[in-house]
Chain A
């Protein structure tokens, strides 16, 4: 027997209470670990410090006039610019989400060429030559069984195709490109803007946002200011930021997911804190006499306090372990929803480390009061011996 085994035995003094407490903590950490993993997966793309993005000041769903693109391109300090438009794509069924972007191939390859180097030259030429062509990540083509040269119908949940009156366009798969971990082109299906623009029923000659390369990252702030100033007080005011900020805001604007999740996680953690804290206080109060006996036998106040803290940390760590395991399962399940889109979701090392740290902190914070009480407890009071 040692202090650890004593803590373990104390933990199971009331098994039902311990199990219920562990379930509470498990649920909290399942939400916590999956949230962290999910949010880091959504914004975990490589970025270039000299790559910036201009979009509508309102939000990224608000389009900009094509004229903006021309003026941004000519701004001092901008080396190359392109434009992109969200297509809102899916394949066959709405749940088969695809990140389809309508682009201008020539300029797009200037701005994102680094991440498209894996596209074979012949396929690149084929893509440039055919306005109905598209290129997709290898993983995506493999998942759906698409072969180069094949015609693939893609649906949009936003736009309608003027030529057929339906929300579907036919694209010829011109090529595939590799998307290593963190590639900015992960999951991107690239189609011709011209083809898309001419056939859509609304929003013609408008673009979603304008990515561009700057001369130097040191000039980013000045260039951003210059661009946004140029469109200030116009009908289409802009907001320019570096790519990293853009990616984060892109992720955040998906229904303000981060905020909502943070609130849910925060609320659940406060609830857990209160539950665990109250239960620990109750558990220590029930054992006042036993703790008094331990002190009488010669256990120091510090050692008794450490044991109370240890019990709390132990239960918190166990709860967190189960929670993280459940989160891993949940994320695996979620990742099946994104199958084929190229996005990978799984438990991240950050989520794992954060869960361990938070579990230890949670254990210490919830037991701090009872542990301090145990530390200060006088033997004569604990044993009621006066």
Chain B
């Protein structure tokens, strides 16, 4: 397997008032294409910061981040925006759907950044909704759907542009066990059948079991645990 992501000596520091807070110090890691990685760790360990760096929504203070052989930490803001649109799908804990849009329109949103025709966009949206099993709720607005259904719409929105990488920040944190397992099953399916590389931040050990491997992040360092065969 080839590396999709390579972090080398990444440092991230924040300044809060006069205090300088170091999140990572010389963090290095490699993530292979087709991996399903669960990131665990106590609050404040830097899980979300790492996810932000991997998704190009934040920049490292030093070190390098390569995606598919390209340095994303060197990209301009505009290049990074385009890169995100083409390569990364985001799934959030609280779904973050647009309340004014239907499921169909929410899923179509990232496609507005492509040059696809409206017809082709509709086809892609239908496919994405079909994958997550929500074809029958296409015209419903988020408030008319359950939490699990909303998260499925968010997954459809994340995969509709066919990105290589899916970043999930506590995707089941707001769901009951049964629904959470359904969502995690869907992520597993996307990883297994569609070859999506998934990095999932979670506090839930049961959720982490759906991943191929688990990385425990603590005080800016990793401890790895292999799960899947």
Residue contact B77 to A3, C-beta cutoff 8 Å:
no
A sample of 19 cross-chain residue pairs with beta-carbon separation below 8 angstroms, ordered by A number, consists of A1-B101, A1-B112, A9-B100, A10-B100, A290-B98, A293-B90, A294-B109, A295-B81, A296-B90, A297-B85, A297-B110, A298-B110, A298-B113, A299-B113, A380-B52, A385-B51, A386-B14, A386-B49, A386-B52
Instruction: Give a binary string over B103-127; 1 marks a CB under 8 Å from any A CB, 0 the rest.
Output: 0010011101100000000000000
Instruction: Give a binary string over A269-294; 1 marks a CB under 8 Å from any B CB, 0 the rest.
Output: 00000000000000000000110011
Taking a contact as CB atoms closer than 8 A, the residue among B52, B77, B100, B157 that contacts A385 in the complex is: B52
Known: A297-B90, A383-B57, A385-B57. 13 other contacts (CB 8 A): A1-B109, A290-B96, A293-B90, A293-B98, A295-B57, A296-B84, A297-B84, A298-B81, A298-B85, A298-B110, A299-B81, A379-B52, A379-B57
Q: A9-B101, A380-B57 are in contact. Are A300 and B52 (CB under 8 A)?
A: no
Q: Is A164 an interface residue (CB 8 A)?
A: no
Question: Most chain-A Cβ atoms within 10 A of its Cβ — which of B77, B81, B82, B157?
Answer: B81
Chain B residues with Cβ below 8 Å from A299 are 81, 112-113
Residue contact A300 to B81, C-beta cutoff 8 Å:
yes
* Interchain pairs with CB closer than 8 A, number: 67
Chain B residues with Cβ below 8 Å from A294 are 109
**A298 → chain B closest CB, angstroms:** 2
What is the CA–CA distance of A299 and B78 in the complex, to the nearest angstrom?
10
Taking a contact as CB atoms closer than 8 A, the residue among B49, B86, B105 that contacts A1 in the complex is: B105
**B97 → chain A closest CB, angstroms:** 8
What is the CA–CA distance of A383 and B170 in the complex, to the nearest angstrom?
14
Chain B residues with Cβ below 8 Å from A298 are 81-82, 84-86, 110, 113
Chain A residues with Cβ below 8 Å from B99 are 13
Main DSSP-derived SS at the A contact region: helix
What is the CA–CA distance of A299 and B157 in the complex, to the nearest angstrom?
14
Chain A residues with Cβ below 8 Å from B55 are 296
Q: Is A240 an interface residue (CB 8 A)?
A: no
Q: Is B48 an interface residue (CB 8 A)?
A: yes
Residue of B nearest to A379 (CB): B57
Main DSSP-derived SS at the B contact region: helix
Q: Is B169 an interface residue (CB 8 A)?
A: yes
Q: Is B92 an interface residue (CB 8 A)?
A: yes
What is the CA–CA distance of A6 and B78 in the complex, to the nearest angstrom?
22
Chain A residues with Cβ below 8 Å from B157 are 297
Chain B residues with Cβ below 8 Å from A296 are 55, 57, 84, 90
Residue contact A379 to B85, C-beta cutoff 8 Å:
no
Residue contact B82 to A301, C-beta cutoff 8 Å:
no
Residues 121 to 177 of chain B near chain A (Cβ within 8 Å): 157, 169
Q: A289-B96, A297-B110 are in contact. Are A386 and B48 (CB under 8 A)?
A: yes
How many chain B residues sit at the interface, stated as a range, is 20 to 34
**B141 → chain A closest CB, angstroms:** 11
**A326 → chain B closest CB, angstroms:** 29
Instruction: Give a binary string over A1-40; 1 marks a CB under 8 Å from any B CB, 0 the rest.
Output: 1110010011011000000000000000000000000000
Chain A residues with Cβ below 8 Å from B108 are 1
Residue of B nearest to A8 (CB): B100
Residue of B nearest to A14 (CB): B100
A-to-B contact residues, CB < 8 Å: 1-3, 6, 9-10, 12-13, 289-290, 293-301, 379-380, 383, 385-386
What is the CA–CA distance of A386 and B48 in the complex, to the nearest angstrom?
6
**B121 → chain A closest CB, angstroms:** 8
Residue contact A385 to B48, C-beta cutoff 8 Å:
yes
What is the CA–CA distance of A386 and B12 in the complex, to the nearest angstrom?
11
What is the CA–CA distance of A380 and B54 in the complex, to the nearest angstrom?
13
Residue contact B96 to A293, C-beta cutoff 8 Å:
yes
Residues 61 to 105 of chain B near chain A (Cβ within 8 Å): 77-78, 81-82, 84-86, 90, 92, 96, 98-101, 105
Q: Is B224 an interface residue (CB 8 A)?
A: no
Q: Is B226 an interface residue (CB 8 A)?
A: no
What is the CA–CA distance of A6 and B108 in the complex, to the nearest angstrom?
11
Residue contact A297 to B109, C-beta cutoff 8 Å:
yes
Chain A residues with Cβ below 8 Å from B169 are 385
Chain B residues with Cβ below 8 Å from A1 are 101, 105, 108-109, 112
**A136 → chain B closest CB, angstroms:** 62
**A124 → chain B closest CB, angstroms:** 72
Chain B residues with Cβ below 8 Å from A10 are 100
**A269 → chain B closest CB, angstroms:** 30
What is the CA–CA distance of A295 and B99 in the complex, to the nearest angstrom?
17
- 3 interchain residue pairs of minimum CB distance: A298-B85, A379-B57, A293-B96
**A160 → chain B closest CB, angstroms:** 71
Q: Is B3 an interface residue (CB 8 A)?
A: no
What is the CA–CA distance of A3 and B113 in the complex, to the nearest angstrom?
10
Q: A297-B84, A298-B110 are in contact. Are A380 and B58 (CB under 8 A)?
A: yes
Q: A9-B100, A290-B96, A385-B52 are in contact. Are A300 and B78 (CB under 8 A)?
A: yes
Chain B residues with Cβ below 8 Å from A293 are 90, 92, 96, 98
